[in-house]
Structure 1
Amino acid sequence: MMEGDSSLITFSDEYRLLEVYHQKRRKPIFRQGPSLYMCRTGSKTGGEIFGDVAEKLTQIVDSGLLVRDGVEADGEESMDDVIQRLVELLKESGDELNQKIQKNHELLRGLQSGFSYSLFDRLTSAFIGSVVPEHERSRMNREQIALTFEVTSRLDALDLQPMNRIMGFGAQYLQQHFSPWIHQHGGWEKAFLVDDEDEIH
């Protein structure tokens, strides 16, 4: 992504969907009013459609995709080791995840200082690869997309980088890896909110 493209990412449907998804995954503190995002659609507002798609993505992730492997790391870690360790940690959630990240000073330092899109891309691809077998990937696009939303939300919840940076990386990853599939299936609403789920894997 070029320097001037970052503002385009924050106005993309992917970025706005990531924001809505992240709000759904957070523990609600108070009830929010109508969504800020209104776009062209039939009778539903863009915010309602984003909410419906985010709900579907949440259901996909919560259907049992994530299984903890409990990998522990010792001593010096290469970047690949760090990514694998972080993948395993990201399969955990909530306070437990935050506590383990805070205790691993090398990992924490790396996330705070050297977190780039390249690292996000490798991490997200490794996260998806740890859950979706390679021979299944061509038919499990919805699951891979849902996992991209989940890893982005979990990274943002760690509060180690500014929200717009993590969400921007997530939106860029979705555009680079899944835009053709989303477009081929008629956009986010049709790809995730059709009745016959088996038609669109």
Structure 2
Amino acid sequence: MNLTNYSSMEEIPLEDVDRTSTEYRVLMAYAQRRLSASKYWHLLEREAKGQDGSSLGREKRQGDSDINVVVDRLAEIVDNSTPFPQRTGFKALEHTLSLEADGGCATKPENEDDVEKDEKEKLIKEIVALLRASGDKLQEKVQNDRTFFQCASELMSYGFFSRVADQFLEEIPADSTADSEVQAQSIKVAFAIEVTTRLTAIDNHPMNTILGFGTKYLKENFSPWIHSQGGWGKALGLPDQEEVE
């Protein structure tokens, strides 16, 4: 997963996000499972702006018992996986980002693309560190640091999202609770969904951009593997049940 030129990354037209896909439904159900009632309601309000009210109502009424079983398993995997070790460099990392005092993102000298890339990488590292810290440090940072929130929101593209997710997943310890390759992969799937849910804290778009990014990320990086295992239930080690489609 190599660093990509952000300016060349293909953006996702929100109207093209398939809200009926399993990936999107899992993300929405997981958000309901993990977010507070107020945060999830805010998510639904933004979701309603991305589709007509009737389709949103159908999605909410579905119940989706099979999806909920998958979501319960994903949350269990995240909660029971070996926590990331705390790194002594976290506090120092919080101060490495060069942000303007007036609330804007750091600007780059003319024609110095490497400086811009470096600033983005510093922000990515800070977001990953916040995601890996105990508690909801990212939410706290968003609430207490308006400059950070504005900068992260302005830079949030699918390329940026992918780098955050890639780096987070690459740092999952190899000696985590997994005792097989399948379990290791299922842990990464679970944490990819957890990361997407937490990143909704810096999504200020009127529709759920982050969930669209998460849907695409799952489809590109994990859906082929999930299908090869026989579906979500088998990939996550659930007892035989009607497969989620």
TM-score exceeds 0.5: yes
Shift of 1:95: 5.6
Unaligned runs of at least 5 residues, structure 2: 1-9, 39-57, 99-117, 241-245
SS of 2:83 mapped into structure 1:
coil
Superposition TM-score, scaled by structure 2 size? 0.64
From the two aligned structures, give the one with the greater helix fraction.
1
Corresponding residue number in structure 2 for 1:131: 172
Task: Give the whole-Å Cα distance in 1 for the aligned partners of 2:14 and 2:146.
Answer: 33
**AA aligned opposite 1:27:** S
Match of 2:23 among 14, 17, 23: 14
Give percent identity, aligned residues only.
Answer: 31
Task: Give the whole-Å Cα distance in 2 for the aligned partners of 1:7 and 1:37.
Answer: 23
Corresponding residue number in structure 1 for 2:72: 55
* Alignment coverage as a number of residue pairs: 187
Corresponding residue number in structure 1 for 2:156: 115
Q: 1:52·1:193 contact (CA, 8 Å) conserved in 2?
A: no
Corresponding residue number in structure 2 for 1:23: 32
What is the 5 A alignment of 1:107-186? 107-133=148-174, 139=182, 140-162=184-206, 164-186=208-230
Shift of 1:138: 5.4
Q: 2:233·2:239 contact (CA, 8 Å) conserved in 1?
A: no
Task: Give the whole-Å Cα distance in 1 for the aligned partners of 2:120 and 2:13.
Answer: 29
Unaligned runs of at least 5 residues, structure 1: 39-44, 197-201
Superposition TM-score, scaled by structure 1 size? 0.76
SS of 1:10 mapped into structure 2:
coil
Q: 1:182·1:188 contact (CA, 8 Å) conserved in 2?
A: yes
Match of 2:60 among 36, 40, 45: 36
Shift of 1:36: 3.1
Greater Rg by CA: 2
Corresponding residue number in structure 2 for 1:84: 125
Q: 2:200·2:210 contact (CA, 8 Å) conserved in 1?
A: yes
